[in-house]
Structure 1
Amino acid sequence: MKTTFILKSTAIVFITMTSTASAENYNANHFFAERHSMVRGPYVDFAKRVAEETNGEVNFTVFSAGSLLPPAASLQGVRDGVAQVTYHAGTYTPSELPIANLVGDMAFYNTDPLVMAFASTEFGLTNPEQLAEWKANGVVYGGGYSTSEYFMQCNTSIQTIEDIKGKRLRMAGGAWSRFAEYVQAVPLSIPSSEMYTGLDAGSLDCAVAAADALDSFSLKDVVTHMNTLAIGNYYAGFEWGYNAAFWQSLSPENRRVLFNQMAYYLGQHRVEFDKDVEAAVQSAKEGGMIVVEADDTLKNALAAFVAADEAVLIANAKERGVTDPAAIIASFKALVDKWDVLLAKVDTKDVEALAALARSEIYDKIDEATYGLD
């Protein structure tokens, strides 16, 4: 009830504001802080470049850190026009986005975040079932993303299967929570903004997240040990999802500008994200954090979980109304394998090379005159 009321109130304010504001001023929403790599490039710099390339016809005002929409409301907010473009973490809306969550839960199939960012983007822009799901939710999908690998960042040392039993782990839901249960840990699905408090107060033993959180969420102040077992990476939902009416109001030329800029920042954010991880880990180590490796019992447990979990993915998707989840999984795996090969041929730290590949293999194949208009 509270969330609905707040969202409607925000929408009323937004409608009132836009009645007197220029039609070329639009809202861009992200719930991470502005300094985060998924905001400062793909939203703050993106907005500046879009304004320049459209000669001022498309101007985004960027709202970060949940200042416009809380995380769970971003999908509804972009559908209703509170924001014209938003980031959305798919696990907040499993019932509305069962296909997006199905592929998002395949985070253990390939833990290379660059591969998953590009594969999920191509899937979101081209798969017919996924496109129908976006449309049913009033969203025009623009492009995806991926965090860096998730690691256990803890206030205790975890190296073995025995160490992890009974530990309270902040998880991103879905497959991550199932993995925690598989190794007899306790999964807690809490927002990233609450990781610090949980570790500091002792209600969490570990935050399982990308290691840039050591800096961006100040976890280095409360984390004593980090285990480098790669527990997937997060890419569910979308980095850019557009309000349908807004998208349809744009000229084809301006839609192409958005395509080109999303192609650039798809690669740029991955390069910057990994730089942030490297810097955050180094700073935390200098502050006394100990980096530990998982032993074979923990590595083998993760491998056994991954092998068994695909059947759970399929069953969950069917319960949410997905007709043929096995076919969708096969389609997504094919794209992941494709991008694993393509990205091995380029310098993965060269943003321009990554952007060129994103354009030639994905965005240049999308027709700006028709995409998102039906």
Structure 2
Amino acid sequence: MSARLLFVATLAAFGACAASAQTVLTVSSWTPPGHMLSLTQKDWCDQLEQKSAGKLKCNILPRAVSAPPGTFDAVRNGLADVSFTVHGYTPGRFTLIALTEFPFLGNSAEAMSLAYQQVFDRTPAMKDEHRGVKVLAVFTHGPGMVFNTKRPITKLEELQGLKFRVGGGMVNDIGKALGMNVTLKPSIENYELLTTGVMDGTLFPPESIEAFKIDKVVRYGTTFPGGLYNTSFVFMMNQARYDKLSADEKRIVDSLSGEHAARLFGRGWDRVDRRAMALMQASGVQFSPADPSLIQAVKDRVAPLEAQWVQAAQAKGIADPKKLLADYRADISRREK
């Protein structure tokens, strides 16, 4: 073989080795490509590729590998390497995460997400509920509100007689405790449900009104100090896929996980919440603060739900659930100052 041919062959072999050394993670999203969740997941992937100098990268699939309620199992079973989901989309499966879904927790998704990540990191029982996946981060959206197409709502009795879509988890229980007619449906179905009149309203953070293009469909919004509810999310990787990574690859993934990823999602949500509020105001959505009597009714009627959670958390091995919840609230308050 001539020296030139040997050189070309060597380059080809080197290129093949370099290509084979690259680790590609299959990534799925059930929200549209322009949704904050999809964009933040892509941002995380871009950081992963940059930090690994191209040795780790993501293949973001054009379509989700599963409907939202099946995403946790899809990642656990290896249909995708990385994705996110709402814990409440699979009722009864996750008990401890309800800590993050009670009313009046906070007004910043970033503050709530970072406080949530802190609780998760120091609570082994929470990790036990996620067996089969590598939790990259947990996070929440911004304060949940009540939106509807029919009338202003400021009092408890004004919630009655309307049909509301909810996303599952504690918000479903809160709605029922308030005597609301609630139906569990994924967020991506809101436009059809509201425009066809199947539902009269939805419980959402501001961001989702813009994301699912219903800013011209809903006409009224009710705000609550710290939110009527919140929603818990998990950003995750298939455990077996993580286990197969090299030590250096695991170190890079870990460095972009935990508080780093929680901050990415929380900060992104705060940003689009602000934008969505401005968009809704421009679209003529009428906002009303919850009447003090409604706020007190929420506190009174949710108190038994909190007590039930304390009992369930104790059964899961949490020594002092009341303190855990109190510390969580205090941490959010500290971060929001």
Q: What TM bracket, shorter-length normalisation?
A: 0.7 to 0.9
SS at match of 2:147: strand
Q: Hey, what does 1:334 align to over in structure 2?
A: 327
Larger RCO, structure (CA 8 Å, separation 6 or more): 2
Match for residue 99 of structure 1 among 72, 96, 117: 96
1:261 counterpart = 2:256 = yes
1:9-43 alpha-carbon deviations (Å, 9 max, x no partner): xxxxxxxxxxxx987222112222221222212x1
1:222 counterpart = 2:221 = no
- The alpha-carbon deviation at position 173 of structure 1 amounts to 2.3
Cα distance, 1:74–1:40 mapped onto 2, change above 3 Å:
same
1:119–1:332 Cα contact (<8 Å) kept: no
Cα distance, 1:86–1:332 mapped onto 2, change above 3 Å:
farther
Please give the TM-score of this superposition, normalised by the length of structure 1: 0.76
**Counterpart mapping for 1:293-308 below 5 A:** 293-308=289-304
2:102–2:230 Cα contact (<8 Å) kept: no
2:170–2:229 Cα contact (<8 Å) kept: no
SS at match of 1:145: strand
SS at match of 2:309: helix
Which blocks of at least 5 consecutive residues in structure 2 are unaligned? 1-19
Rounded to whole Å, the distance in 1 between the matches of 2:319 and 2:305 is 13
Q: Hey, what does 2:23 align to over in structure 1?
A: 24
SS at match of 1:207: strand
Rounded to whole Å, the distance in 1 between the matches of 2:103 and 2:308 is 14
SS at match of 2:66: coil
Rounded to whole Å, the distance in 1 between the matches of 2:298 and 2:92 is 27
- The alpha-carbon deviation at position 224 of structure 1 amounts to 0.9
1:168–1:187 Cα contact (<8 Å) kept: yes
- The alpha-carbon deviation at position 247 of structure 1 amounts to 1.1
Q: Hey, what does 1:142 align to over in structure 2?
A: 136
1:133 is aligned with what amino acid?
E
2:137–2:261 Cα contact (<8 Å) kept: no
Match for residue 241 of structure 1 among 236, 240, 243: 236
Q: Hey, what does 1:197 align to over in structure 2?
A: 192
Rounded to whole Å, the distance in 2 between the matches of 1:84 and 1:313 is 32
Match for residue 68 of structure 1 among 65, 71, 75: 65
Q: Hey, what does 2:148 align to over in structure 1?
A: 154
Please give the TM-score of this superposition, normalised by the length of structure 2: 0.84
SS at match of 1:26: strand
SS at match of 2:32: coil
Cα distance, 1:112–1:302 mapped onto 2, change above 3 Å:
farther
Indicate the percent of aligned positions where both proteins have the same amino acid: 18
Rounded to whole Å, the distance in 2 between the matches of 1:219 and 1:281 is 12
- The alpha-carbon deviation at position 109 of structure 1 amounts to 4.4
Q: Hey, what does 2:39 align to over in structure 1?
A: 40
Aligned positions, number? 314
Match for residue 228 of structure 2 among 211, 218, 231: 231
2:170 is aligned with what amino acid?
A
SS at match of 1:250: coil
2:209–2:276 Cα contact (<8 Å) kept: yes
- The alpha-carbon deviation at position 301 of structure 1 amounts to 1.1
1:113–1:233 Cα contact (<8 Å) kept: no
1:28–1:83 Cα contact (<8 Å) kept: yes
2:163 is aligned with what amino acid?
R
1:103 is aligned with what amino acid?
L
What's the C-alpha RMSD, in Å, of the aligned pairs? Answer: 2.5
Q: Hey, what does 2:266 align to over in structure 1?
A: 270
1:238-272 alpha-carbon deviations (Å, 9 max, x no partner): 1x211111111223332232233334442233233
SS at match of 1:219: coil
In our comparison, the structure showing a higher alpha carbon Rg is 2
Tell me which moved more, 85-94 or 327-336. 327-336
